[in-house]
Each structure stands twice: as structure tokens, then as C-alpha cells.
Amino acid sequence: MELLSLQSCCPPSLHSSFTSSSRRKQQIGSIISNPRFSHTTAAAASGSLSSSPNKLFFPFIVNKPSTGLIPSSDKGKVKASNINESTLSSQDDLVFVAGSTGKVGSKTVRELLKLGFRVRAGVRSLQKGETLIQSVREMSKIYSEIQPSVEDRLEIVKCDLEKKAEIRQAIGNASKVICCIGASEKEISDFTAPFRIDYIATKNLVDAANALKVDRFILVTSLGTNKIGFPAAILNLFWGVLLWKRKAEEALLSSGLPYTIVRPGGMERPTDAYKETHNLVLANEDTYFGGQVSNLQIAELIAFMAKNTNVSFCKVVEVIAETTAPKTPMENLLSAIPSQRNDISLSIKESQAVPKSEIQKTQPLSPFIAYDDLKPPTSPSPTAPNTESN
């Protein structure tokens, strides 16, 4: 499992692609000569100095997850490290973010860093993390007064949520998990995408987080997942995406984990400036079926929830933004939403001791209950023609 840190930035005068081939060979040679070097790191190091499509295009540090920080004497070195979740104690300030390169996920990572969290950002491929890393570098110039620095508190870890074996190691000792994944509009021709990503991948993440006994799981879904209403229901034209998001919600609700489910309105059109003219409106589940909110507003809300876990304990929150809404502190907005579990003081162990049958009784019935065993859409199997004569 490779963890990348931002601390090994290229010097300003050195281009990250290393145009000189001789210089490239010297750099790779110096890395290989390091006694801490391994075959896993060799591929990563070569990728960081070459144009391999599966690697990042800049030098990086593979960082040990136990501290999240690298001693100054180790800067500039490449180290290999595997996360063994059984030997690590949970870190209260460490958050694992799935979907960290998406529109909501990337902004969530930055908002968490602003609040002082350490963030372990899960990416499907290392090159996908490059844009995130660049944005955090730019942010670190603005928030230079925050210590430890923003760059020191970000790790990039490769993790494909469709591969169960990778997930537990990726989460490691993170105390909180935030899931911002979702099938992309670019995959509209793939009728299995919502099933695979919005449901199966999310359920895999829930199962891994449950096994690791994380303190909080925050899941981002959508308006209209649990009750049919327009215009939200139109999204189901995208291969039943709301149905699969609801199945993911049900997997989290029945897991016993302390959770928060965030159901945002439409986020396609609003820009970051949307918050200047539209204030947040929070409501209990199954209240809204339309409305808009910006990615940044959702990211800020998620980060606040991670920081203030008591006011977001076991709640399903629907979120839109309106010009007529008064500007209200997030704590007040969240306090008005009822928790689906009465005892907010439940520890993680006590929470997981609650019988699943008891949890399921309190959760609302899904409008898709008749499709509990629904499988992803497939073409009908041809039947043999009837050859019998009349």
C-alpha cells in the first residue's frame, strides 16, 4: 500500500518531468541505492520520474501512517510502507476520504485540512491525485500560518473500492471515514456504473470501516433516495442511481456504525460563489425533492460534521441553499435535525453492540423494498423457439 505525502516537493528550479535523461537516471539510481528501497517503491519511483500513465509525475515520499509526519532528516527520501491495521491505534484527527478527487471530495479534503485534520485521501490511481496535490499546495500558501502545515497533513493512498482487499489497509488507523463517491456522468453509457460504484463500492467501504470500528462514517448520497418525488426521481433514468444510493444508505444504517448521511440537492450548476447569495437550509430526511447547493457548501458542512460529531450523530440530513434563508450557524441547523438513535453518548463499541434488528426497526421503509434482491440490469436471455407443430 503506497502512501504519498506532499513534503517531497520539487525545488522551484527543477521541472517535475526531468527533461534531462541523464539526470533522470541519476535520480533513480540514488533512490535505488537507499537501503529502505523496495520493489514496490521502485515502480513508484520510476513512475514519478517518467511518463508512465499509472504513476504520479513528481518525486514523492512514501510515508509511514503512524504519525502522518516525516522527520526533517527523512525528507527527500523514498520509503516503502505497508499499513497493518491490527498494529495501529486509531488516530482521532485522521480522516480517510473516499472519492477525494471528485468535485465534493477534493473540496472536502481541503476543508478538513483547514480545520486541522490529517487526511488520508483514497484514489483509484496515483495520477488521479496529482490535481488534488496541486490544489493543496496552492492552499498551503494562503494558510501558511496553520501548523503543522497543510502539506504535512495530507497523504495519498491508492485504493480501489471495488477490490475489498485494498480497503482496510487504505483506511488504516483513521478514526473517521467520509464517502463522496458516485458514478460519473461520463459513465452514462455504462449501465452497471451506479450498481458497482454507488452501491457495491460504498458497501465494501462500510464493511471495511465496520471491521476497523471507526468512530464515524459520513456518507454523501442525494435527495430523493428514500421517497419518490420530482424532480429528484428523474435521476433514476441514470440506471436507477437513486435506488443504488438508497441500498448503500441501508447498508450503513444496518451496520451499527455511528453515521451521518448527507443528501445534497443538485450541485451541477452552482459555483463556489453560490454561498455568497444562497444560505444553507437543512431538513430531516424525505423533505425535499428539488433544490440546489454548491459543492463547496457541502464540503464545508461535511468538515464541520467531522469536527462536531455530537450534533451530527446518527442523522440523515437533506441540504439545499436558498436566497431567502437566513444565515444560520451550522451547529444550530444540525441541532434542529433529530438523531435516529437516542443515546448520543454511545461509544463506538456500545454502538456496534446494538442489535441490527433493532436498528432496522427504526429506519424508514424504502420505496424500493420490493426490489431487495434486485440485480444490475442485464439483457434478457433468449428463449428457444417453439418447434412443436400445431
274, with CB counted inside 10 A (0-12, 13-18, 19+), is middle
Q: How high does pLDDT run on average in the chain?
A: 75
The boundaries of the domain holding residue 108 are: 87-124+159-371
pLDDT for residue 110: 96
CATH number at residue 205: 3.40.50.720
What is the gyration radius of the CA atoms in the chain, in angstroms? 23
Q: Grid coordinates representing 16?
A: 517535475
Of all residues in the chain, the percent with pLDDT exceeding 70 is: 65
Cα→Cα distances 64→55, 79, 83, 320, Å: 19, 8, 8, 39
pLDDT for residue 122: 97
* CA 362-238-232 angle, 5° bins: 55
Q: Binning pLDDT at 50, 70 and 90, where does residue 169 land?
A: very high
List pLDDT tens digits, range 247-274: 999 999 999 999 999 999 999 999 999 9
Global pTM?
A: 0.70
In a domain, 5, yes or no: no
In a domain, 142, yes or no: no
Q: How far apart are alpha carbons 157 and 33 in whole angstroms?
A: 24
pLDDT for residue 6: 47
In a domain, 173, yes or no: yes
Identify the CA nearest to 342 among candidates 316, 314, 321.
314
List pLDDT tens digits, range 265-320: 999 999 999 999 999 999 999 999 999 999 999 999 999 999 999 999 999 999 99
- Taking residue 284's Cβ as centre, other Cβ atoms within 10 Å add up to 14
In a domain, 38, yes or no: no
In a domain, 234, yes or no: yes
216, with CB counted inside 10 A (0-12, 13-18, 19+), is buried
Domains held by the chain: number? 1
Residue with the three cell numbers 434488528: 357
Is residue 213 predicted with pLDDT exceeding 70? yes
Residues in the chain: 390
In a domain, 180, yes or no: yes
pLDDT for residue 248: 97
Q: Binning pLDDT at 50, 70 and 90, where does residue 112 land?
A: very high
Q: Binning pLDDT at 50, 70 and 90, where does residue 374 land?
A: low
Q: Grid coordinates representing 244?
A: 443504488
In a domain, 383, yes or no: no
In a domain, 355, yes or no: yes
376, with CB counted inside 10 A (0-12, 13-18, 19+), is middle
Looking at per-residue pLDDT, the higher value among 10 and 192 belongs to: 192
